[in-house]
């Protein structure tokens, strides 16, 4: 299955979610490829750090792919060689993201529960609608990311996201937690530092299960 973590706004937690899903899924024994489609190469840097920390055994493969057409072709080809492909793309509407979504079974769009982020929902809907013309099997999901641990903003944002009929809202909220950056700094996923923050680990498991069980593996 090919999963793209995308969106048209920077800093929503795409790379954090993509790398945590890859670490968790590969930890389940799946042969996973992480494709870094962002010129910032954060996923690639994370994977390099992880390989350094784990004596070359990150547990998954990571490659960088540039360009929309190349992304579409490579992702489709790699899907027959790996059990799972997860693609991290840059936070704006770019050709790599479009290529990734055209090859994907699932596109996941993290949204921060903030006004300026909510304003990008229409553009994400257009991106998905255009991709579906060429890739009718695509299923698109939204999730709250970098959400508040408390307060009413999450519920308000969730209600707004749920209104978008062509995007399915996943109620697996990823909150703002220090564990996410602490884990990244150590080349780990939050499921690997569960003792430090069991809630972060639970968030990633819930999101993972919602995505992969939705594809009836
Ligand atoms: N759930 C979270 N809790 C705490 N910090 C987070 C969380 N998600 C992301 N961050 C932090 O927010 C910043 C941006 O996150 P990240 O790089 O994952 O976003 P992105 O959407 O991939 O950004 P870009 O659009 O630049 O690729 C990073 O410093 C990251 O550590
Ligand atoms: Mg990123």
Q: For ligand 1, what atom is nearest to the CA of residue 11?
A: 23
Distances in whole angstroms, Cα of residue 162 to Cα of each of 43, 47, 69, 144, 165? 29, 34, 32, 11, 7
Whose CA is closest to 71, among 90, 44, 42, 97?
97
Spacing, Cα 194 to ligand 2 middle (Å): 23
Q: Residue 44: nearest ligand to its CA?
A: 2
Give residue 165's pLDDT.
86
Higher-pLDDT residue of 215, 86: 86
Q: What is the mean pLDDT of residues 90-104?
A: 95
Does position 215 have pLDDT exceeding 80, yes or no? no
Give residue 217's pLDDT.
46
Give residue 188's pLDDT.
98
Q: What is the mean pLDDT of residues 6-24?
A: 98
Does position 173 have pLDDT exceeding 80, yes or no? yes
Give residue 214's pLDDT.
67
User: Hey, which residues does 84 pair with through a beta bridge?
Assistant: 32
Q: Distance between CA 31 and CA 117 in Å, rounded?
A: 33
User: Helix (H, G, I), strand (E, B), or coil: what is residue 41?
Assistant: coil
How do the domains of the chain map onto residue ranges? 2-213
Q: What is the mean pLDDT of the chain?
A: 96
12 Cβ inside 6 Å of ligand 1: yes
Domain 2-213 CATH assignment equals 3.90.76.10? no
**Contact predicate 7/16, CB 8 Å:** no
User: Hey, which residues does 37 pair with through a beta bridge?
Assistant: 89
149 Cβ inside 6 Å of ligand 1: no
39 Cβ inside 6 Å of ligand 1: no
Radius of gyration, CA atoms only, the chain:
16
Q: For ligand 1, what atom is nearest to the CA of residue 203?
A: 1
pLDDT digits (tens, 9 = 90+) for 41-92: 999 999 999 999 999 999 999 999 999 999 999 999 999 999 999 999 999 8
Does position 216 have pLDDT exceeding 60, yes or no? no
């Amino acid at each position: 299955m090919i999963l793209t973590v995308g969106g048209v706004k920077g800093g929503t937690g795409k790379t954090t979610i993509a790398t945590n899903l890859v670490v968790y899924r590969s930890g389940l024994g799946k042969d996973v490829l992480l494709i870094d489609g962002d010129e910032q190469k954060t996923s690639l840097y994370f994977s390099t750090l992880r390989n350094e920390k784990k004596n070359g055994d990150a547990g998954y493969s990571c490659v960088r792919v540039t360009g929309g057409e190349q992304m579409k072709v490579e992702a489709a080809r790699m899907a027959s060689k790996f059990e799972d492909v997860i693609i991290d793309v840059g936070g704006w509407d770019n050709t790599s993201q479009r290529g990734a979504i055209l090859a994907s079974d699932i596109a996941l769009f993290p949204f921060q529960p903030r006004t300026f982020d909510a304003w990008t929902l229409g553009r994400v809907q257009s991106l998905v609608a255009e991709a579906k013309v060429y890739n009718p099997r695509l299923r698109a999901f939204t999730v709250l990311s970098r959400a508040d641990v408390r307060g009413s903003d999450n519920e308000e944002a969730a209600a707004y996201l749920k209104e978008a009929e062509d995007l399915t809202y996943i109620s697996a909220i990823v909150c703002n937690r220090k564990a996410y950056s602490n884990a990244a700094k150590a080349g780990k996923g939050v499921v690997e530092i569960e003792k430090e923050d069991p809630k972060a680990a639970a968030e990633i498991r819930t999101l993972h299960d919602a995505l992969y069980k939705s594809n009836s593996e």
